Structure 1
Amino acid sequence: MNAPATTPPTVVIGAGPIGLAAAAHLTARGQDVLVLEAGRHAAAAVRAWGHVRLFSTWSELVDPAAEKLLAPTGWTRPRADTYPTGADWAQQYLQPLADALSDHMRYDSRVTGVSRSGRDRVVDADREKQPFTVHVQHSDGGEERLTAAAVIDASGTWSLPSPLGGDGLPALGEDASADRISYRVPDLSNDADRARYAGRRTAVVGSGASAFTALALLADLAEDSPGTRAVWVLRRGISGSTFGGGEADQLPARGALGLRAKAAVDDGHADAVTGFRTTVVEREGDELVLVAEDGRRLDPVDEVIVLTGFRPDLSFLTELRLGLDERLQAPVALAPLIDPNQHSCGTVHPHGHRELSHPEHGVHLVGMKSYGRAPTFLAMTGYEQVRSVAAALAGDLDSADRVELTLPETGVCGGSGLFDDPRSEQAGGCCAAPSVLQIGTGTPVSTGGC
C-alpha cells in the first residue's frame, strides 16, 4: 500500500541493527520512512563495542528484508556459521545496509523530544488525529522540528548503563571516582586499555555475558602480564546457572563464554565475592575500596569495571502516553513474556506489534529498548518485531499478526530474581536435581541443566 504524498513519513529513531531493519521492512512495503541517527555513521553503538565477538552467528544477524534490499548492490553475505565481532557486523552488514537506505538516512540527528503536534500528554481533544512532532538537535547546536505519521524508537539502551550501586542508584563516591570506573568491556587490543589493566587488580561487577567477557579477557591478560588479577563481584550467590548454559546452550558461543569465565576463577585469575551489593566507593590514595550494604569491605583495587546491564532512556518520550511495566520498563503486554524474574530456559513467547503497542497509537519501542531492563534480547527477536510492526503500519494486519519466533534455549533455569533463594535450585520445572562441585575459590556450586 503506497502512502499518499502528503502523509508524513514514519520516523525511526536509531540506525542500529533493528532500526535499519525497520526501515528495510517499511520501504519494502512502499512506506515513506526517515531514519534519525545521533552518530555520524550507522551503528554508532555497535561500533563502540566493536572489539567484542557476538555469540550469534551471521545466520542469526542478517534480517531477511534487509538482505533483499542489499542483493542488487552486489553485497555478499558473510559465511553463515561464523561469529562476527561488533566491528564486523557494522562494517560488513550494517553500514552497507545504511548506504542502501541512503535516501532515508539522516545522521548527526539526536532526538530530544517526541510528542503529538500541538498536544502535550495531558490533552485528549483530537489527539489521535494529530501527527507526531519530533524535535532534533545537531552537534553544531542547530535544531529542527520534524513531522511523523508514526514513530519507531529503536535507539537501544547503550547510552544508559546501570550504575555500580546495588540499589539501582549510583553508590556514594561513584561519580567522584569516575576516572577509575568503566562501564564497558575493555578493549585489550588497545594500548591504552591494556596499560590500564595490565599488572593491576580490577573489580568486575556483574553476572551476565559482558562480565563473562571481561573476566575472560583479564584472565588472558594475566598470562602475559603477571600481577593482573580480577575480583568478580556478584550481587547474588553462585549457583548452577551462574556460568550460563555451558555445553547445553543452543548458542554454543554463549555457553563457551560462561565456561571461560568459570575457568578464570578455577585457574586462580579471579576471586569470586558473592552477595555483595555495593553502596559506597571509598578512595584510598590511587586505589578504590568497595563497601557493601552489610558493611563488608573489599580489599583495595586499582580499577572497577561495572557491567550491571543497561536501562532505556525515556527522557525524550515524556510527552507520549506509554504503557510500561513498572519493573522492567518494557511494554506492559511484553513484560510477562521476557521477565527475568520468571523466565527460565530462555523461553520467549512470540510477540509483535500488539505486544509492542502503547496507549499512544502509532508509537512502538522495538529492539533492545523494548526489553527495558531485561537482559535477554537477541537480534532475531528485534527483526521479527519490526517485521510485524511494519506490516501493521502498512495496514496488513494478517501478516502483522503472523508472528513466529523461536529462540535458542539458554540451558539455564531460574530467573535472576530467584537466584538469592536456595530453594529455586530445587524447584523442579525443566531442571534436573542439582549436583555439587567445587570451583577455585572453594565455593560450592550447584549444577543443573535444562
Structure 2
Amino acid sequence: MNEPTTDQLPVVVIGAGPIGLAAAAHLVERGLAPLVLEAGPSAGTAVRDWAHVRLFSTWAEVTDPAAEKLLAPTGWVRPDGAAYPTGGDWAAHYLQPLADVLGDKVRYGATVTGVARAGRDRIVDADRDEQPFTVHVQTADGHEERITARAVIDASGTWTIPSPMGADGLPALGEKTVAEHVSYRVPDLKDPAVRARYAGKRTAVIGSGASAFTALAYLADLAEDEPGTHATWILRRGIGASTFGGGEADQLPARGALGLRAKAAVEAGHADAVTGFRTQAVEPGGDRLVLVAEGGRRLDAVDEIIVLTGFRPDLSFLSEVRLGLDERLQAPTALAPLIDPNVHSCGTVYPHGVNELSHPEKGVYLVGMKSYGRAPTFLAMTGYEQVRSLAAALAGDREAAERVELTLPETGVCGGAGLYDDPDAAQSGGGGGCCAAPATLQIGIGAPSASGGC
C-alpha cells in the first residue's frame, strides 16, 4: 500500500476548546481533514473549569461563523446573540455540540507530549521542509501513539500554567509550602465547600485584571452574608485612570461594566486595596499567612490567598520544532508588538492571521490564547479570525489568508472573567506607575451583583 502524500495527511489541532474547534470547522469548510486532539474527556475542558463565571462577550461574539455552518444542519440554534453565556453555557450549548458534529475528527483523552519533523530533530536542516510532522500522543489509558500530520495548529491555551504570586515571575518564597491555602482560580462561591473555605475568612487577592475584579466582587458579596469575610486586593502598581478599563466608552458593554464595578468596589468598603506591593515571600503567621514585599514590608495576616496574575504557555512539547518567539511575551515574533500589554488593550490589537502567526518552522502555528504567550488581552473573536486565515493559507488561498475580516471592539479591560451573574443584567448587557509608593485604601461593593464575562 502506498504511503499517503503530505497533502493527504490530516492537520493536527491540539485542543478542543473554542479556537481549536473553530480551526477544525474552518479546515472542514476548506476541504481539509482536521484531527483534534483533546487531553480532557470532553470539549472545552478548560472552559468547564470556570463554568460558574459569565463572559463579558455576548453569544454573538463567541461563536464562529464556520462552526455555525457546521451546526446548522443539526437543528442547532444559536442562543440569543445579545445574552452573555457562562463558561458552562458556552461548553454545553456550543462547544460540545460542535465537537459532536465533528465526530471522529475529535479525539478525547489524547495528550500531546511532543511535536517534531519526522526523522529530524530541531538541529537537522536537510530536507526538513519536505518532511511531515510526527505528533507524539499519550492516551488516557497510558498508551503511546505517533500521528503523522501535514501541519500542526496548537490551540492548547495557557490554562494549565497559572503565573505565580512572586513579583519576579517566580514562585514567592514559601508559596509552594503553603499551597493548600493558595488558589489560582476565580472561586465558585456557589459550591458549598468553596464557600466554606472563604466565608468568615481574610483573603488576599493578587492581580490587577478582570479575574481579580471578579474574585473581589464575589468575596464582597459573600461578606454581605458572612460576617468576618474580608478581602485584601494586592496590586503591584498604583491605581490610575487606566486601572479599570474603558468604562462607559467600552464597545463591549459588559467589559466596561466590569471595570466600573471594580471602581465602585474601590469606593465602597468591604476590603482593603494595597498598591505598590510586589510580593517576595509568604510566611506562616500563627494559623495565618503573612505576605512580605520587596524591601521587607509586611501585610496583616490572611487565611487564604487567590493568585490571579495571568497564565503562561506550555512550550515543553514543542521543543523539537523551530519557533520564533518574542523574548518577553513568548508570543510569535511578528505578533508580539501588536499585543504587548505595555502598549495595547485587546481593542487596539490589529486583527492578524497567517503572516503574524508563522514561525521559522513552516506548518506549525500557535493560535488562540497560546499565541498570546503571557499577554492577557485575548478575545475569542481574535482567535476565530486567526484560524480562518490559517485554514485559507493551508488550502492555498493566500488572498483570503491575508485579508482582514474582523473589526475589534475598542478600549477596555481584556482577558479574565466577568461579573454578570444576574440574569436580567446578563440579557440586557448592562452592566499608577510601577514605582508608586505603597498605599492602602478601602474597597467594597456598593450595589447588588450584576453579571459579566471574558
The TM-score normalised by the length of structure 1 is: 0.91
Compared CA separation, residues 107 and 411, structure 1 to 2 (3 A): closer
TM-aligned CA deviation for residue 440 of structure 1: 4.0
TM-aligned CA deviation for residue 439 of structure 1: 6.9
1:419 aligns with 2:420: no
Name the CA distance, whole Å, in 2 between partners of 1:121 and 1:184.
Answer: 36
Tell me if the contact between 1:387 and 1:400 (Cα under 8 Å) persists in the aligned partners. yes
1:155 aligns with 2:156: yes
- Report what 2:182 is aligned to: 181
- 1:287-322 deviation line (CA, Å, top 9, x unaligned): 111100121101000000000000100010010100
Bigger shift: residues 355-364 or 137-146: 137-146
- Report what 1:50 is aligned to: 51
- Report what 2:446 is aligned to: none
- 1:318-343 deviation line (CA, Å, top 9, x unaligned): 10100000000000000111111122
- Report what 1:364 is aligned to: 365
Name the CA distance, whole Å, in 2 between partners of 1:36 and 1:27.
Answer: 16
Name the CA distance, whole Å, in 1 between partners of 2:109 and 2:365.
Answer: 22
Name the CA distance, whole Å, in 1 between partners of 2:251 and 2:235.
Answer: 25
Name the CA distance, whole Å, in 1 between partners of 2:261 and 2:199.
Answer: 19
Name the CA distance, whole Å, in 2 between partners of 1:270 and 1:406.
Answer: 38
Bigger shift: residues 81-90 or 400-409: 400-409
TM-aligned CA deviation for residue 411 of structure 1: 4.2
Tell me if the contact between 1:346 and 1:412 (Cα under 8 Å) persists in the aligned partners. no
Name the CA distance, whole Å, in 2 between partners of 1:369 and 1:412.
Answer: 19
> How many matched pairs?
421
Q: Matched residue of 1:388: which SS? A: helix
Name the CA distance, whole Å, in 1 between partners of 2:25 and 2:15.
Answer: 13
Name the CA distance, whole Å, in 2 between partners of 1:88 and 1:419.
Answer: 38
TM-aligned CA deviation for residue 103 of structure 1: 2.1
1:121 aligns with 2:122: yes
- Report what 1:295 is aligned to: 296
The amino acid that maps onto 2:151 is: A
Compared CA separation, residues 76 and 99, structure 1 to 2 (3 A): same
Larger RCO (CA under 8 A, 6+ residues apart): 2
1:94 aligns with 2:88: no
TM-aligned CA deviation for residue 346 of structure 1: 2.9
Compared CA separation, residues 7 and 188, structure 1 to 2 (3 A): same
Tell me if the contact between 2:202 and 2:303 (Cα under 8 Å) persists in the aligned partners. yes
TM-aligned CA deviation for residue 6 of structure 1: 7.2
TM-aligned CA deviation for residue 208 of structure 1: 0.2
Name the CA distance, whole Å, in 2 between partners of 1:439 and 1:175.
Answer: 29
TM-aligned CA deviation for residue 265 of structure 1: 2.8
1:165 aligns with 2:179: no
Q: Matched residue of 2:348: which SS? A: coil
- Report what 1:34 is aligned to: 35
Tell me if the contact between 2:339 and 2:345 (Cα under 8 Å) persists in the aligned partners. no
Name the CA distance, whole Å, in 1 between partners of 2:7 and 2:210.
Answer: 47
TM-aligned CA deviation for residue 384 of structure 1: 0.3
Tell me if the contact between 2:6 and 2:132 (Cα under 8 Å) persists in the aligned partners. no
- Report what 1:218 is aligned to: 219
- 1:358-377 deviation line (CA, Å, top 9, x unaligned): 00000000000001111110
Tell me if the contact between 2:205 and 2:305 (Cα under 8 Å) persists in the aligned partners. yes
TM-aligned CA deviation for residue 5 of structure 1: 9.3
- Report what 2:355 is aligned to: 354
- Report what 1:445 is aligned to: none
Name the CA distance, whole Å, in 2 between partners of 1:361 and 1:51.
Answer: 39
- Report what 1:60 is aligned to: 61
Name the CA distance, whole Å, in 1 between partners of 2:299 and 2:240.
Answer: 22
Residue correspondence of structure 1 range 392-403 to structure 2 within 5 A: 392-403=393-404
Tell me if the contact between 1:133 and 1:148 (Cα under 8 Å) persists in the aligned partners. yes
Bigger shift: residues 280-289 or 83-92: 280-289
Tell me if the contact between 2:10 and 2:33 (Cα under 8 Å) persists in the aligned partners. yes
Tell me if the contact between 2:152 and 2:363 (Cα under 8 Å) persists in the aligned partners. yes
Residue correspondence of structure 1 range 188-207 to structure 2 within 5 A: 188-207=189-208
Bigger shift: residues 180-189 or 346-355: 346-355
Residue correspondence of structure 1 range 102-117 to structure 2 within 5 A: 102-117=103-118
The amino acid that maps onto 1:187 is: D
Tell me if the contact between 1:349 and 1:405 (Cα under 8 Å) persists in the aligned partners. no
- Report what 1:328 is aligned to: 329
Name the CA distance, whole Å, in 2 between partners of 1:5 and 1:366.
Answer: 22
Compared CA separation, residues 46 and 63, structure 1 to 2 (3 A): same
- Report what 1:22 is aligned to: 23
Bigger shift: residues 395-404 or 383-392: 395-404
The amino acid that maps onto 1:420 is: C
The amino acid that maps onto 2:165 is: L
- Report what 1:259 is aligned to: 260
Bigger shift: residues 256-265 or 227-236: 256-265
- Report what 2:287 is aligned to: 286
The amino acid that maps onto 1:316 is: F
TM-aligned CA deviation for residue 129 of structure 1: 0.9
The amino acid that maps onto 2:395 is: A
Name the CA distance, whole Å, in 2 between partners of 1:396 and 1:165.
Answer: 46
Unaligned runs of 5+ in 2: 415-431, 444-454
TM-aligned CA deviation for residue 27 of structure 1: 0.6
Tell me if the contact between 2:210 and 2:413 (Cα under 8 Å) persists in the aligned partners. no
- Report what 2:418 is aligned to: none
Q: Matched residue of 1:96: which SS? A: helix
Compared CA separation, residues 130 and 263, structure 1 to 2 (3 A): same
The amino acid that maps onto 2:372 is: Y
Tell me if the contact between 2:346 and 2:379 (Cα under 8 Å) persists in the aligned partners. no
- 1:166-198 deviation line (CA, Å, top 9, x unaligned): 000000100010000000000011001100001
The amino acid that maps onto 1:202 is: T
TM-aligned CA deviation for residue 256 of structure 1: 1.3
- 1:124-150 deviation line (CA, Å, top 9, x unaligned): 011111110100012321111111100
Name the CA distance, whole Å, in 1 between partners of 2:300 and 2:139.
Answer: 45
